[in-house]
Structure 1
Amino acid sequence: MNDQAEHPLRYALVNELHARPSPRLEAPCTAVFVAFKEPRDAANRERSRDVAHLADLCSRHGSPSPDPQAGHYAAQLGRHKLRWESHTEFVTYTAFARGLPPRPFDPSVGEIFPLDWQRNAPGKRVAAVIVHVDVLPEDPNEIKPRLKEWFAAESLASVWVLDESAAVAGDFRIDPAGWMRFAVFVRPGTASGRVGRIIQRLLDLETYRAMSMLGLGRARILSEQMNGLEVQLSDILQGMADDTRPSEAVLHDLLSVSTRLESAATQHSFRFGATAAYEAIVMERVAALRETRFMGGQMLTEFMQRRYAPAMRTVKSTEKRLATLLDRAERAGELLRTRVDVWRGAQNQEIMQRMDRRADLQLRLQHTVEGLSVVAISYYAVGLLGYALYPLAHAVHLDKSVLIAALTPLVVLAVWFGMHRIRARLHDDH
């Protein structure tokens, strides 16, 4: 086939579907799992450090180094099969070994991941699990004493999974050595692929449970912050009814609260979104196990509803509360803008009234000035005409005072008419 007809990502995307197959395991065996996450901005971490940390573990066991651009890796580390995967926020290491230790859940099985190596990880450990996989006895009642010995009775969940092909038990507690424990008892003859899927789903369940509950810590911190911000916002809204309080002061307080709310939303939006996504994966993994009740024990679904779901509801309610406060702050801003617009309208109306009064005064003053101008111009015009016509008046024996008296009304009328024409012309030009 012509390569030019292929989309450049076609093969890469298809290969991604097969990059992380479920392990194929046979009972008895042991799975040891750890997951690391950087405390801050894990999604944008420098992934080369994760690969370098993996290469260090491989070097300790004499195994080939991973590709620097790898997103997943598999190798044989002594008697263990190692699987490494890089995810959006975390990396996971899983080691599978045949057989079981002399003592169930012996912390020594975790030595495949040395403590000093774990301390040097780019992130912090968010999950550490030991899965004890054994063969289910003919009488399932025989495992009850073991479950009582290994797990806390008040939080123990024990179920049949995948059409009763295996029994799974765990109490979701961390033992003194720092490991969470799961026990899996597989019916003889169960396919290795099915056993591997059961183990993988349990590990995914714990990993994504741990990752989703990171949002609970954020929610508690944010709730404390919102308690204070909510009081401030309420005070601002009540203060907006006080006309004596300057709008500038109210605006300053509102901007301060709104800025802190927007900052909180920006800081926590990714974590809350990731929590919702991880929660969905947790519930999908539980559903994929197709659990049924094991000898009257607590089911995983029941455990999640009682212990896990309240934490997720807390995160969701906190996120909703933050959104509500943001909406209230936005509405307060709109109310404040309306208040300012009304105030500005009143100010503009007052200014217009002042301008009208000033214009009226200017018009009156203009009329007064025009009247005075007519008088002044007429005075000088009469004087000039009197000087000009005096010889003629003398020739006809006309007294000067009579001449001035006769000229005055004529000159005043002529000056007034001239100024009226000039004012009318100026008005027409505008």
Structure 2
Amino acid sequence: MTTTLDGELKVSASTNFNAELHARPSIYFSGPSLVEHVAFMPASTQTQGIVEIQQKNATSDDGIRVQIEHHTEFTTVTRVTPLKLPVQAWPQETRFHKDFGVTTTPSQLICRISVLVLDAPPEDLSPTLRQYGFGDTAASAIGGSAAQVCSDFLVGPGESSRILLFNAELNAYRLGRMVRRICEIETYRSMALLGLPEARRLAPVLKYFDEKLTDLTNRHLNTPADEHKRLLDEISTLSAHVISATAETRNRFGATAAYATIVEERIAELRESHVPGFQRFGVFVARRFKPAVRTCAATALRLEQLSHATMHLLDLLQTRIQLEIEYQNTVQIRAMAERAAVQLKIQRAVEGFSIIAISYYLLSLLKMTAETLDHAGVHLGPFTMLVSIPVVVAAVALTVFRVRHALR
């Protein structure tokens, strides 16, 4: 191991990644046994303090084995109790809450599964299933016909779903992994179905959102400019509600999709084959499980589409408002240009009048000067006044034009 900080961090990360490969070991066992599996979701993030068991993986003197696993959202407790033949009836199930200190308050019980593992299956399953109280049952040969699994998926008196597993050729390791897959199917199926109540809760809300969006879209086509602000406020409010609903359910629906994928993988790992006269175990699960998953996926997609639609409508209205503002600005600029042109014409007219007025005053001054000189004995002829008129007018006009050019 390197002594540098970077090297220590790299080794530590590698160790954690390698440990993750062994984070979910199965309980290996053989012979008739009762496997009890409980999954529950803590109400707080302090998952480690919910289960009060002295050891994570414990084996007692009578062969009972217990295993606890902490997952991202939930915790599972698995207990394997060896049984003595013959097993005439379903064994008495363990009181997890009392015997193991597992409290459902403030935690939420997700599922409880009891798997009764027996020897090779009988030739006729029906009498055995009736003996253990099973009703309409699904059954499959699993593991390449090395075992058979049966269940009616009903919750019994102990709040557990009962599964009957007949082991024909599985050794302890394969049997432990097979039981683990069966428990995981039920656990992840229950976790995935947590999104279904959210989907049902959102159904009327989404219907209202759709109707509101349709109404706002129709109003957007015919709303006059003086009511655009009110329409913009309503669309913004609808968009905020849709985004809020999406944020509240995004994690749950995302988890539903992830758990559903795990369920499908675990069913495929069973390597099922048909048992004459019975519906397959995986088919029974999938046919009743996939519609709920599709409902959650459809609800999530509907929320996403509503969010895009409201944002698109909001952009359209904002674009329309912006175009109207630009049009108003264009009209105002055009009016200002017209006023400037009129003012320019007036200014030019005034400049023309000013040339005439200044020239008139200058010529009047020259006339008074000529009359004064005439009284003084200096006589100026009429030709002098005629010449001075164009000269004065030209000088005044040139002066005015030069001043206007300088101002420009």
TM-score (structure 1 length as normaliser): 0.83
Query: 1:163 & 1:176 partners in 2: Cα distance?
Result: 33
Alignment of 1:136 with 2:136, yes or no, is no
2:48 matched residue in structure 1: 51
- Residue 425 of structure 1: how far off its partner (Å): 3.5
Q: Is the 8 A contact 1:151 1:171 kept in 2?
A: no
Cα deviations by residue, 1:322-365 (Å, 9 ceiling, x for unpaired) = 22222322332332233223323321321122112211221122
Question: Please, which runs of 5 or more residues in structure 2 have no aligned partner?
Answer: none
User: What SS class does the counterpart of residue 241 from structure 1 fall into?
Assistant: helix
Correspondence list, 1:17-416, <5 A:
17-38=21-42, 45-46=44-45, 49-54=46-51, 57-58=52-53, 63-64=54-55, 73-76=56-59, 79=62, 80-99=64-83, 104-106=89-91, 108-114=92-98, 117-119=101-103, 121-137=105-121, 139-141=122-124, 143-148=125-130, 150=132, 153-154=135-136, 156-187=137-168, 190-244=170-224, 246-382=227-363, 384-385=365-366, 391-396=372-377, 410-416=391-397
Query: 1:221 & 1:115 partners in 2: Cα distance?
Result: 37
Q: Is the 8 A contact 1:30 1:100 kept in 2?
A: no
- Residue 100 of structure 1: how far off its partner (Å): 6.4
- Residue 97 of structure 1: how far off its partner (Å): 1.3
- Residue 410 of structure 1: how far off its partner (Å): 4.6
Query: 1:99 & 1:116 partners in 2: Cα distance?
Result: 20
Distance 1:243 1:356, change over 3 A: farther
Cα deviations by residue, 1:260-315 (Å, 9 ceiling, x for unpaired) = 22222222222222111111110111111111122321102321342111111211
Query: 1:144 & 1:226 partners in 2: Cα distance?
Result: 47
User: What SS class does the counterpart of residue 173 from structure 1 fall into?
Assistant: strand
Cα deviations by residue, 1:374-403 (Å, 9 ceiling, x for unpaired) = 344345444555565554343346599999
Q: Is the 8 A contact 1:212 1:274 kept in 2?
A: yes
Query: Which letter does structure 2 place at the counterpart of 1:74?
Result: N
Cα deviations by residue, 1:211-263 (Å, 9 ceiling, x for unpaired) = 11111112122222111011111111111110425222222121111112222
1:70 matched residue in structure 2: none
Q: Is the 8 A contact 1:105 1:130 kept in 2?
A: no
Distance 1:243 1:120, change over 3 A: closer
Distance 1:121 1:100, change over 3 A: farther
User: What SS class does the counterpart of residue 240 from structure 1 fall into?
Assistant: helix
User: What SS class does the counterpart of residue 125 from structure 1 fall into?
Assistant: strand
Query: 2:382 & 2:132 partners in 1: Cα distance?
Result: 138
Query: Which letter does structure 2 place at the counterpart of 1:153?
Result: G
Query: 1:158 & 1:202 partners in 2: Cα distance?
Result: 13
User: What SS class does the counterpart of residue 221 from structure 2 fall into?
Assistant: coil
**When the two structures are aligned, how many residues end up with a matched partner?**
401
Query: 2:220 & 2:257 partners in 1: Cα distance?
Result: 37
RMSD: 3.0
Q: Is the 8 A contact 2:93 2:158 kept in 1?
A: no
Query: 1:261 & 1:238 partners in 2: Cα distance?
Result: 19
Query: Which letter does structure 1 place at the counterpart of 2:290?
Result: A
Query: Which letter does structure 2 place at the counterpart of 1:76?
Result: T
Query: 1:233 & 1:415 partners in 2: Cα distance?
Result: 73
Distance 1:320 1:30, change over 3 A: same
